[in-house]
Chains A and B, each alone.
Chain A
Amino acid sequence: MTATAEEAPMTAAQETMAPTTERVDNVSAAAYRIRHHALTMGEVQGQGYVGQALGAADMLAAVYADQLRFQAANPEWEGRDRFLLSTGHYAIGHYAALAEAGIVPVEELETYGSDDSRLPMSGMSTYTPGMEISGGSLGHGLTIAVGMALGLRYQGSTARVYNFLSDGELDEGSTWEAAMGAHHHQLGNLTAMVDINALQADGKTDTVLRTEPVTEKWESFGWYTQRVDGNNMAELLRAFDNAAAQAAAVGRPSVILCDTKVGRGVPLLEGREKAHFMRIEEHEWQQCREQLTAGYEGRASR
């Protein structure tokens, strides 16, 4: 999809049938490359939010390789769909997706978190092309998304707004102010995607502040709510298709709740004690890459 992205905007799929095998394979390949990019960036720092990036890679691939309308050569294109990264520390995953999308050069990823880089550890719109907002202070993204969706609709734009947030951000009251606001204003052009990796800075989400039942919460706030395995590409694409099919200038906002696994795709990290800020030893990076490749090729050959 990235090759065509430079010439013409991509169009969101409208069907709600199961996605074709070819489509699932193409987006899965993008997710695989995003994971490798994330490992490359993680190795530069020697540690970091690699676990989150690997867990969210399928969600990011579904957005950038399948759903989002954008022009890689012109990230400011007025007609683009907006993708708002609320969780600033997921920038490592977002940069990987921007590289996959052709918005950031792949070779620039090595500057991640270095002095004078356009790719700081916590994502900011003022630093990086394709980054719509400065996230990081959690619970902001969905409030900005509400204003953006209202502003675009008021100006007659058909662009859609996607907000990526984490289950930890469901702790923040502002997220629910925005959830009410989106429903009140009937923002059918807004889709929230929640990465439910069940992990927060101080531990597992259910030990920090219980957010479940998450599905019922969003439903009761009036949102079109779907919950899927966020590491199952066919399920993810089906959910995005359903969201796209009911998207409208005036209508229900949509949320896709994605259960994901921290470190997904690298068994060494999947099995490691879960940590917000994962430590990976110098000799382990190559092992991570080999496991990622073996797992992907193993699945692909089945």
Chain B
Amino acid sequence: MSTATAVTGTASKGTAPKLKTSAMIASFADPGQKTASAPFGHALVKAAQENDKIVGLTADLGKYTDMHIFAQAFPERFFQMGMAEQLLFGAAAGFAETGLVPFASTYSVFAARRAYDFLCLDSAEPNLNVNIVGGLPGLTTGYGPSHQATEDMAIFRGMPNLTIVDPCDSIDIEQAVPQLAASEGPTYLRLLRGNVPTVLDEYGYTFELGKAKVLRGGNDVVFISSGLMTMRALQAAKALAEHNVDVAVVHTPTIKPFDAETVLAEINTDRLAVTLENHSVIGGLFETVASAVVTAGLGKKVVPVALPDEFLDAGALPTLHERYGLSVQRIVAKVLAELG
């Protein structure tokens, strides 16, 4: 896999030339969008300057999870474990047993599918401060099901003690890293890598582990979103304003433990409620919200914007986001259809 920037395909949908799989491979940022380079790597360096217990590990994906920034800054605190994910996470638990605070990176598919047993028993059961950093969460690569972690949150939500964070942008990542290091127990960060959009600085927002935040108010519709879909939710809210639809956006980057109080207060109105996530409709944000709604006894319809329960196609991300409903255009169309 190349880190070369290959952002293409800015033409309007329907008339664009066929896009290449390498489109958005280094970044899903829109052309011209404000971005920050490798926010995770730089945030980890900054956290490590203040906390000498932090160490970094990877399984032959340092360059592709922005861990290389940390490795360059702290070579003696970086440990290459080879393309061996079971060893990566077993060893991460061993580091934590000695009082260190490991951040261990690989792709989300390998963490969730291949090394689950090692995360579950070696780190979660003894509640160790092991921080899992998973690249390519949901649909952020066009490589097909081998690399697309469309069900990572569904897999991980069942693991007791595990905190799950799905950040929207560079601000979320920069602010989350020191909080993950400081929090007790294991965590899973859905990494956005490379040139990551900077979005939330315009909303007076700060990341607080375990908290959902209302980014904007709106009278007709309320979006509950996480991850990069909060960026799309904000864009869709602006687009819907042109249709005289007033949309509120609630960003809930911590999926577990879930801030049901804030989210339910926003849902328990007569507005149309929509969840938006870069994940399968099974077992992610939608079902987290749905279970909170049912548990609270709210008879409220919730509309999911999520990936289908399918193995997804390979191809260019702009094409795939359009195909599977994550694009702004598809969100707007869905909301207008729901509103009739």
Contact = CB atoms under 8 A, between A and B. Distances in A.
B303 to A, nearest CB: 40
Given A150-B79, A178-B90, A134 B118 contact: no
A132 B91 contact: no
Interface stretch (B18-26, B97-105, B229-237, B279-287): B97-105
B77 interface: yes
Contacts of A134: 121-122, 125-126
Interface in A149-164: 149-152, 154-155, 157
SS class of chain B's interface: helix, strand, loop or mixed? helix
Interface stretch (B81-89, B249-257, B319-327): B81-89
A80 to B, nearest CB: 11
A284 B266 CA distance: 68
Interface residues of A, number: 33
Contact of A147 (B82, B90, B99, B117): B90
Contacts of A82: 97
A148 B118 CA distance: 15
Nearest to A184: B82
A174 B79 contact: no
Interface in B272-324: none
B77 A137 contact: no
Contact of A174 (B90, B92, B94): B90
Interface stretch (A1-9, A138-146, A271-279): A138-146
B58 to A, nearest CB: 13
A216 interface: no
Given A151-B95, A174-B118, A140 B126 contact: no
Q: Which of A144, A155, A177 has the most CB of B within 10 A?
A: A144
SS class of chain A's interface: helix, strand, loop or mixed? helix
A20 interface: no
Interface residues of B, number: 28
B93 interface: yes
Contacts of B247: none
A65 to B, nearest CB: 24
Q: Which of B82, B87, B126 has the most CB of A within 10 A?
A: B87
A165 B76 CA distance: 30
Contacts of A151: 55, 94-100
Contacts of A126: 125-126
A173 interface: yes
Given A125-B126, A134-B121, A154-B77, A148 B86 contact: no
Nearest to B123: A144
B97 A155 contact: no
B94 A149 contact: yes
B97 A143 contact: no
A180 B82 contact: yes
Q: Which of A136, A151, A185 has the most CB of B within 10 A?
A: A151
Q: Which of A137, A150, A173 has the most CB of B within 10 A?
A: A150
Contacts of B121: 134, 136-137, 140
B125 A143 contact: no
A144 to B, nearest CB: 4
Nearest to A147: B94
Nearest to A143: B90
5 contacts: A82-B97, A126-B125, A143-B122, A146-B91, A147-B95
